[in-house]
Structure 1
């Protein structure tokens, strides 16, 4: 991608990524994970701040925090970079993601829309909707679509 990105550190399976957001609120550790779903070919992308949970006495991913570090576009480009790396290793896997709020889901739709030409060179992109039977299904991505989330699949070369 042509946008500024943070350095990513990943585990050997390329399923967990870590990077530092740097801005006026300091250095904040961010985590991206790719987790299996009930469907063996679909993986959920989760993203957020790494925080220590005092009750559970362990680190967890918090996707509801708003850190407002002034680096939103760099963060989005870094998350996109993790998708490129994950699907490079696992091209047969699809990735599902959505925002933790409707506003964040709209932000992701705008980010995809702005970068659609570049993303479409490598990925097939779908929007997730609820169909007339109440089931979640995928439809081709449209820049003005109202989606619950998104599904991305690396194109076969």
Structure 2
């Protein structure tokens, strides 16, 4: 993804990445990678950091910088996988609409992403190699050739 992205701070042994969305307003955001059980799978969450420090994954900010936010998320994924190259990251939108946005972004960057990453979509109870024509409930990404 060649899109401009926000600078971020790596926290919690590279399990959390904080940045500021600069659009109509300034919004503190975080990308969190949570290990799923004792596996090498990690759940990705993108959230707004509220003033009281709580995280909100449901608010629609409409801050006017969606492309830059998702480019930042992709950079966080890339950095996380540099720290943990054996890992697979699983993610989905907090709503069906957001999951559809992830699908669209993957399709838009698929050729370039496939140079370095393995991409999967989850449907009908299992993961399959990502197919732009399919409809997925969630996605997974890992490093290629690891």
Where does residue 78 of structure 2 map in the other structure? 84
* SS of 1:121 mapped into structure 2: coil
Q: What is the TM-score normalised by the length of structure 2?
A: 0.95
Give the structure 1 partner of residue 92 of structure 2. 98
Match of 2:18 in 1: 18
Greater radius of gyration (CA): 1
Is 2:131 the counterpart of 1:142?
A: yes
1:133 corresponds in structure 2 to none
SS of 2:63's equivalent in the other structure is coil
Instruction: Give CA-to-partner distance per residue, 1:111-155, whole Å, 9 cap, x none.
Output: 00000011111100000112xxxxx31011011211110011111
For structure 2, list consecutive stretches of 5 or more residues without a partner in the other structure. Answer: none
* Total equivalences in the alignment: 146
Cα pair 1:47 1:61 within 8 Å, conserved: no
d(CA) in 2 for partners of 1:118 and 1:108? 16
SS of the equivalent of 1:47 reads strand
RMSD over equivalenced CA pairs, Å: 1.3
Per mean C-alpha deviation after superposition, the further-off stretch among 100-109 and 4-13 is: 4-13
Q: Does 1:72 align with 2:66?
A: yes
Q: Distance in 2 between matches of 1:46 and 1:60?
A: 13
1:27 aligns to what?
A: 26
User: What's the secondary structure of 2:140's corresponding residue?
Assistant: strand
2:39 matched residue in structure 1: 40
- The separation in 2 between residues aligned to 1:39 and 1:128, in whole angstroms, is 20
